[in-house]
Structure 1
């Protein structure tokens, strides 16, 4: 998890949910700051995922 996560939550461009057997699968497309390198963008996406997993 990115300890220095200070960027605003990115914009959600697309959201899809479906059942996969007994599991729910959610696909989210985020619009992330284009000045971030791949590692930083991945950290933002991971932080969003972890926060949603904690909440739901």
Structure 2
């Protein structure tokens, strides 16, 4: 049984095979935007400071 693979996925696989240097560029971009060090204490403070959402958001006080 063959699994479906979109045209875009096929294109990207072929393109990445033809341009192996892009793997490094992709990893650098990910490190720039996503792979950030996590601070457990800051996350705990943010969770404690969170204000609960009302059941009906647009209801006036």
TM-score where L is the length of structure 2: 0.29
Structure 1 or 2, whichever has the larger Rg, is: 2
Point out which structure has higher relative CO (alpha carbons under 8 A, 6+ apart).
Answer: 1
More helix by share: 2
